[in-house]
Chains A and B, each alone.
Chain A
């Protein structure tokens, strides 16, 4: 008999189960569960999808169907320890958002959606961060830490941002 390594820790399972009383059915816990796993592992591997489905009494395909709709969740490999979303919507683009994104990509040596080889940074574009008064802006989420909104950016600031990334 083969043994399978479980991906979800007891802490993750408890956190997911804590959401169940909030809704009249378990399927509604799909997004909260995906968030919990994503925050812990920085991605939602297929094994986790199967375990989430077990917990929520769903078919794995139902969870996978939902996950694949939202670009927020990664599945093939974890995103970087820092995930930086540069806004490219019109308010930011008018004030240099495209140049900020381009400089960050150049400096990190990756394209939007990709992770640096050292795993420290994933660069993303955002369609709108809803912080248009601070255009151009970037949301950086640090694994296990706080999210930071970087405001009124210039391309030059991307250099120091990359230099200051946590190890």
Chain B
């Protein structure tokens, strides 16, 4: 890989990197000053659109385009919700940004609120991040004191308040409408869309929901320009009119069976193999890799033979995965049982399903009980087809659920069984040699003792 200068992680590791003085010494809040002095909100939206920044929360939706969905000339208030509820297993990039460089996130949030004319921003933070809470609260207090937040910011007519709102350990709060419901003080049941949050979001007002890393990217786009951002990453595919390209730096979280797990910054488009070899120090214990999760477990699985595909917004999809997701790469070495992996994955989604939609509530638990049965040595070969059938029917792609959680639950099932079917069959044959071919688990009436 050619030399790449990290920007999102540039301050990480410096002493007191979370403090305003350190951030300002490295040029912090100069971008905000420039924006407020020289640009109208519409100019900022155009800048972000020109950069082709795609949301870093998992879906990869173009950020500037999302902002344009807000109604024009709305009397307000308009709200900004910053999604800091990352709970996708394998993902921790937002935590690093909030703990080690919270001002970078706050500066991006202020710029984004100026662009969208939002007057209040809520950072919805997962409760499992106590240090982030402390650091964000500290940074926000420093901003009020320095005049970056509050009334008439830096002498302009722009006013903004930012509040941190803590969640209570529920994965579904990371879904944008689940987050909105939770912020309103209710159970985090996702809403049916439309109306989309841009039209009717939190407190029934126009709302933008953006991810923490997206906010950090906005800071650097405002500081360095759209052309700089577009000079990094992978251009759009000319053969795919729906591909807006994958531009900019990206935080990749590397965990699992690698020697050096961590959060690394690289251009979008780096491959799984490069990530493991150049950043992760190779697979641990000198073993070989068997598979990798490309971006949180909801994205599915890449086999080792697919490690040379680029980890951009389109790459993992070419290998039958859902997408790049959060770019949280989890490496599985050759000793990992795919039955165990899938059990872990199904257990997570069954636990985190909010229970609102029947296919998700029932389907995730059904898949989990089947995996529990297979692991307990009572599996049948036909279970694999049944699991695939569940995987193909529970998600939003056939239009059966309100949000994408069940889709996320389905992809690991579909990928694991389709790519490692032989391993599942061997496991079932080995652990249930007498019953693995059973086709009818219900005994016929004449087989029941006492029946005539």
| Given A128-B88, A128-B89, A132-B90: A72 touches B168 (CB 8 Å cut-off) | yes
Establish whether residues B166 and A25, one from each chain, have CB atoms under 8 Å apart when the complex forms. Answer: no
Contact among B89, B163, B165, B354 with A31 in the assembled complex (CB-CB below 8 Å): B165
Chain B hits for A158, CB < 8 A: none
Chain B hits for A13, CB < 8 A: none
A 23-48 to B, binary, CB cutoff 8 A, 1 in contact else 0: 11101111110110000000000000
Establish whether residues B130 and A130, one from each chain, have CB atoms under 8 Å apart when the complex forms. Answer: no
**A129 close to chain B: CB less than 8 A:** yes
Establish whether residues B89 and A127, one from each chain, have CB atoms under 8 Å apart when the complex forms. Answer: yes
| Given A30-B185, A31-B182, A89-B348: A135 touches B170 (CB 8 Å cut-off) | no
Chain B hits for A75, CB < 8 A: none
Establish whether residues A130 and B186, one from each chain, have CB atoms under 8 Å apart when the complex forms. Answer: no
**B67 close to chain A: CB less than 8 A:** no
Establish whether residues A66 and B77, one from each chain, have CB atoms under 8 Å apart when the complex forms. Answer: no
**A133 close to chain B: CB less than 8 A:** yes
- Interface positions, chain B 85-105, Cβ under 8 Å from A, are 86-92, 94-95
Establish whether residues A130 and B330, one from each chain, have CB atoms under 8 Å apart when the complex forms. Answer: no
Establish whether residues B293 and A90, one from each chain, have CB atoms under 8 Å apart when the complex forms. Answer: yes
Establish whether residues B171 and A127, one from each chain, have CB atoms under 8 Å apart when the complex forms. Answer: yes
B 109-139 to A, binary, CB cutoff 8 A, 1 in contact else 0: 0000000000000000011111100000000
**CB nearest neighbor in B for A94:** B256
Interface stretch, picked from B12-20, B257-265, B389-397, is B257-265
Chain A hits for B351, CB < 8 A: 127
Establish whether residues B261 and A132, one from each chain, have CB atoms under 8 Å apart when the complex forms. Answer: yes
B 164-191 to A, binary, CB cutoff 8 A, 1 in contact else 0: 0111111100000000001111111000
Contact among A35, A69, A73, A93 with B187 in the assembled complex (CB-CB below 8 Å): A69
Establish whether residues A132 and B89, one from each chain, have CB atoms under 8 Å apart when the complex forms. Answer: yes
Residues of A within 8 A of B (CB-CB), count: 45
| Given A22-B163, A31-B182, A90-B90: A135 touches B77 (CB 8 Å cut-off) | no
A69 to chain B, nearest CB (A): 4
Among A28, A62, A91, A127: residue with most chain B CB under 10 A:
A91
Establish whether residues A66 and B186, one from each chain, have CB atoms under 8 Å apart when the complex forms. Answer: yes
| Given A70-B170, A132-B92: A27 touches B293 (CB 8 Å cut-off) | no
Contact sample, A vs B, 11 pairs, CB 8 Å cutoff? A28-B185, A29-B185, A68-B187, A73-B168, A93-B340, A126-B169, A128-B88, A130-B128, A132-B253, A133-B263, A147-B131
- A→B interface (CB under 8 Å): 22-25, 27-32, 34-35, 56, 62, 65-66, 68-73, 85, 88-91, 93-95, 126-135, 139, 141, 146-147, 149
- B→A interface (CB under 8 Å): 77, 86-92, 94-95, 126-131, 161, 163, 165-171, 182-188, 203, 253-257, 261-263, 293, 297, 328, 330, 332, 336, 340-341, 344-345, 347-348, 351-352, 354
